[in-house]
């Protein structure tokens, strides 16, 4: 499946899952506790997002101060952003996915996957051509007017 199809499927199915979970929990504990639980998870998520965001920012600055490339931190930033958006979306399924984005070990694994599988493959177009790729003649030219 292509990435666009996966995102489309995600946006199509998640609202149905959220409505189902909200109705089931509302039927068990009632409407008011369900609303309070949704608000509580949003507040807790915002607090955790702030803490994790500051910790990632401090690691980013520390790596820059040491002269190292903060590769993991540059990938973890958008993961935190997505996690925060998921936590502010009302519902329990999106909250669960948002909390997973805030777990440092899970975020590190996802960042490692992105760096190793996605970004490393992007370097291939910038490699020098080999002799198998056709008739390449290297040389210099000078334009005379």
pLDDT tens digits, residue range 55-107? 999 999 999 999 988 888 999 999 999 999 998 888 899 999 999 999 999 99
Per the domain annotation, does 144 fall within a domain? no
| SS3 readout for the chain | CCHHHHHHHHHHHHHHHHHHHHHHHHHHHCHHHHHHHHHHHHHHHHHHHHHHHHHHHHHHHHHHHHCCCCHHHHHHHHHHHHHHHHHHCCCHHHHHHHHHHHCHHHHHHHHHHHHHHHHCHHHHHHCCCCHHHCCCCCCCCCCCC
Q: Is the residue at 98 inside a domain?
A: yes
Give 134's pLDDT tier (boundaries 50, 70, 90).
low
Domain count, the chain: 1
> What confidence score (pLDDT) does residue 131 get?
53
- What residue numbers bound the domain in which 29 lies? 3-123
137 in any annotated domain? no
């Amino acid at each position: 499946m292509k990435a666009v199809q996966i995102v489309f499927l995600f946006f199509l199915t998640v609202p149905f899952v959220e409505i189902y979970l909200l109705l089931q929990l509302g039927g068990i504990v009632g409407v008011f506790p369900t609303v309070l639980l949704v608000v509580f998870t949003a507040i807790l998520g915002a607090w955790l997002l702030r803490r994790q965001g500051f910790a990632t920012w401090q690691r980013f600055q520390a790596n820059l101060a040491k002269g190292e490339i903060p590769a993991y931190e540059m990938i973890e930033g958008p993961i935190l952003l997505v996690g925060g958006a998921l936590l502010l979306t009302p519902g329990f399924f999106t909250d669960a996915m948002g909390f997973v984005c805030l777990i440092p070990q899970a975020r590190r694994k996802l960042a490692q996957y992105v760096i190793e599988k996605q970004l490393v493959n992007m370097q291939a177009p910038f490699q020098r051509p080999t002799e198998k790729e056709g008739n390449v003649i290297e040389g210099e030219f000078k334009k005379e007017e």
